[in-house]
């Protein structure tokens, strides 16, 4: 008789949404200590979600180590796995949380990531992380070059002070603002151009966005990351952090806290809402925060 297969419990959550089958799906493995790097990567590839998160030692009273894998590679940080893992751990009672604000810290590849978990009636209602890395800038392309990669016309991409930039809060993104939010639905990557460019670029992911003309603090967003193993992402916390940095740099006020709302995933049939904040003092960005809700939609056992 063959011995019983080793098993690993996991939970499925939809992140940056309040309802099932929307937002960005995530697999969370609360006991990932005994898994090798290769096993984690194979599991992420097998599940074929944008990311899978593995909770590992060290574990302390208010935190743990979290490793994040996309289908093609391990990531030093990602937003929706951070929010989703915090929600799942609160959901299963992994920490002694009380109603109101609670605080966690995840050790990720970028360093310690502080997280606020709001509990209501014994359940997680909202999670928010503070970016471990303040906005860093990289080399960007011309508006015309971005338009070519995105399958758009040059006039679709802004080329003024609110034009493209390359920003990272742990994961780099090319931030490409459009002149009209209605043009977002026309984006179609030219994969030949993308592959030639991404192989030598500081950032291989593209965040395309446009302001909502009716609601000034709302932005419509699409994020593309083919080199990570998925074409488009329905909700991207790391890109949201970079967008907060992009917007805060262009905010004319030198001091204050600023808030924006992101709508993403609509074109994919997985609508998502992300809430971003930035603090500035004397013109310098001092903090970036990204928050949202999540729902646990299932759990299972994976046989290794």
CA distance 153 to 141: 15
Place of tokens 């034009």: 163
Paired with 25 in beta bridges are 14
Residue 247 sits at the vertex; the CA angle it makes with 225 and 148, to the nearest 5 degrees, is 40
Question: Residue 52 burial (CB < 10 Å; 0-12/13-18/19+)?
Answer: buried
Residue 174: enclosing H or E segment and its boundaries? strand 172-177
- Stretch (H or E) spanning 88: helix 79-91
Number of alpha carbons in the 13 Å side-chain half-sphere of residue 238 = 29
Structure tokens at 126: 């909202």
CA distance 81 to 66: 9
Active site residue 232: no
**3-state secondary structure string across 224-278:** EEHHHCEEEECCCHHHHHHHHHHHHHHCCCCCEEEEEEEEECHHHCCCEEEEEEE
Among the options 51, 105, 136, 299, which is catalytic? 51
Structure-token pair, residue 183: 């043009």
Q: How many CB atoms lie within 10 A of CB 294?
A: 28
**Which residues are known to be catalytic?**
51
């Amino acid at each position: 008789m063959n011995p019983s297969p080793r098993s690993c419990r996991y939970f499925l959550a939809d992140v940056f949404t309040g309802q099932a089958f929307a937002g960005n799906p995530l697999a969370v493995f609360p006991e990932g200590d005994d898994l090798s790097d290769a096993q984690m990567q194979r599991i992420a590839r097998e599940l074929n979600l944008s990311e899978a998160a593995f909770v590992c030692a060290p574990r302390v009273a208010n935190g743990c180590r979290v490793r994040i894998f996309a289908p093609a590679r391990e990531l030093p940080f990602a937003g929706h796995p951070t929010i989703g893992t915090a929600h799942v751990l609160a959901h299963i009672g992994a920490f002694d949380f009380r109603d109101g604000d609670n605080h966690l810290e995840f050790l990720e590849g970028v360093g310690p990531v502080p997280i606020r978990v709001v509990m209501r009636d014994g359940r997680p209602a909202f999670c928010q992380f503070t970016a471990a890395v303040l906005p860093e800038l990289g080399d960007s392309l011309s508006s015309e070059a971005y338009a070519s990669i995105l399958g758009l016309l040059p006039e679709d991409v802004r080329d003024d002070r609110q034009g493209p930039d390359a920003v990272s809060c742990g994961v780099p993104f090319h931030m490409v603002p459009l002149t009209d939010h209605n043009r977002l639905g026309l984006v179609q990557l030219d994969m030949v151009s993308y592959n030639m460019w991404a192989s030598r670029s500081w950032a291989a992911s593209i965040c395309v966005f446009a302001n909502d003309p009716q609601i000034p603090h709302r932005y419509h967003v699409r994020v593309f990351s083919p080199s990570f193993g998925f074409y488009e992402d329905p909700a991207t916390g790391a890109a949201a952090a970079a967008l907060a940095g992009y917007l805060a740099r262009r905010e004319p006020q030198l001091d204050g806290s600023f808030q924006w709302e992101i709508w993403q995933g609509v074109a994919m049939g997985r609508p998502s809402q992300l809430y971003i904040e930035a603090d500035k003092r004397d013109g310098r960005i001092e903090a970036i925060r990204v928050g949202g809700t999540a729902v646990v939609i299932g759990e299972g056992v994976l046989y290794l």
